[in-house]
Structure 1
């Protein structure tokens, strides 16, 4: 999967992330759309990094995963600031 961050960076997750990082990222994609607050999203991020892949233990957050997570956090904040039926770029 190629992820394009808001700053234009393209990250090929199959090549540039570890398997454990990809597993964490899969969990966070779900939480990006379900989290009730940025704090909840950050807690789920900490939990996913701490538990690791199939409870294998902590996953080190590399610089690319960190960049993706920062971008996801920004999207969570935007979503929460403008709940449906609000459109992106419009005031709530």
Structure 2
């Protein structure tokens, strides 16, 4: 069977209906990249996911403020006191 844009639109709409706007956006990007590679490898003739931008609601962009410099000692203290999870997590 042949892949059509409708297949990808239905997939994205299903993800969007669950409220996962960022996941829907990334899924579209990944699928488009995979299918672009398939076109380059001459496995398919066209990329059916190429022009699906705008099909779903874009995720809300959030801008997180930087940590004020005067709160840096508090952050370092909290990182030092963090003993849950793996040690690698503290060093990240």
Is TM-score (shorter-chain normalized) higher than 0.5? no
Name the TM-score, length of structure 2 as normaliser: 0.36
**Normalized against structure 1, the TM-score is what?**
0.36
